[in-house]
Amino acid sequence: MRALIYAGVGQPKLQERPKPIILESTDAIVKMVNTTICGTDLHILKGDVPTCKLGTILGHEGVAIVDQVGDNVKNFKPGDKVIVACITSCRTCNFCRRGMPSHCIEGGWILGNTIDGTQAEYTRIPHADGSLHHSAKNTNEEISMLLSDAIPTGYECGVLQGKVQVGSTVAIIGSGPVGLTALVTCKLHSPAQVIMVDLSQSRLHSARANFGATHTIISGPDTVKQVMDLTDGRGADVVIEAVGLPKSFELCQDLVAAGGTIANLGVHGRKADLHLEKLWDRNITITTRVVDGLSTPMLIQLVDSGQINFGGLVTHRFAFDSILEAYSTSTEAEANNCLKTVIQF
């Protein structure tokens, strides 16, 4: 089968690989319908993720058809259309039972990291019962794919950790795919204002026109002043960091209101300063989290019933044979006006 592997820093490579086989009775083999390239894949290609060894098939998102199941898979059978969760869950270890499959002893984020992932014609899914979802009937495959990672990450790591409430003022730093899923899902909690901050005019335009931001700010020297002007000098109750750079995490500290929360969802590869000398008396909370996917069944229902809408998030489509072109496009995402790519098999 054809697969996209990590062949070294800056080197995604197409390769012929054997079709995976069932190794454990709880495994499923799935035939991919589509997949995508995530910011996390780009981090691997920068050499930021040492757990991902050379030769690993990348990818942790996608929609698939179940091809085979092991004897102990109960909830899925060949032919089922499924959403692959980016987090593998055994459902029985200490972390899974505490609601943190992201840290599952035999799972967590392993697909396209420590084991072969979804950027291939077939993928082996360990602990299939805890790691696949049946795809919903009314939702197309492109939008279903966003439920692997992007939508639950924005909701769990941004909106839930940030404790967005009715009437909150929310500032989201970064208007990329996950910043936008945080924007759409925070509206479930009826915030009064959602202010998007980004360097890209086109991304901000999209945030306002397609995804319901109430205000947009081009990131620059007077970002803090503009947010303060919009919030009567108080700052934002919830500040969501969706970039993953020291500068943007430090900006969050200047924007958070007394009593507010900074919810980090960016992937950080470098240290960032924490200004406790300014924050020690501000009653704030800082949260970090990797998506667990506990909200995914609920989000699948909300998407399927049309209560939340992600039309416009997929901007580019490629056939699998053109996946290297998709990588180039995603690497220069802003220049290409690219949010999320879909790669079709």
Which region, judged by CB under 5 A, interacts with Zn ion, from 15-23, 100-108, 268-276, 331-339? 100-108
**How many angstroms separate the CA atoms of 256 and 155, rounded?**
19
**How many angstroms separate the CA atoms of 342 and 314, rounded?**
7
- What interhelical angle do 223-230 and 246-255 show, nearest 10? 30
Q: Enumerate residues 40-69 that contact Zn ion by CB under 5 A.
A: 40
Longest Cα–Cα distance in the chain: 61
Shortest reach from residue 41's CB to Zn ion, in Å: 7
**How many angstroms separate the CA atoms of 30 and 320, rounded?**
16
Could you tell me the two tokens for 47? 């050499």
Could you tell me the two tokens for 162? 């940030």
Q: Enumerate residues 4-33 that contact Zn ion by CB under 5 A.
A: none
Q: How many residues bind Zn ion (CB under 5 A)?
A: 7
Our finding on whether 38 is near Zn ion (CB under 5 A) is yes
Ranked by CB distance to Zn ion, the top (closest) residue is 38
Q: Which of 197, 202, 199, 201 is nearest to 179 (CA)?
A: 197
Our finding on whether 93 is near Zn ion (CB under 5 A) is yes
Q: Work out which of 104, 136, 263, 339 binds Zn ion, going by CB under 5 A.
A: 104
Q: Enumerate residues 313-332 that contact Zn ion by CB under 5 A.
A: none
Shortest reach from residue 147's CB to Zn ion, in Å: 11
Which region, judged by CB under 5 A, interacts with Zn ion, from 65-73, 91-99, 244-252, 331-339? 91-99
Q: Work out which of 5, 49, 63, 90 binds Zn ion, going by CB under 5 A.
A: 90
**How many angstroms separate the CA atoms of 130 and 142, rounded?**
22
User: Residue numbers of the site for Zn ion (CB under 5 A)?
Assistant: 38, 40, 90, 93, 96, 104, 149
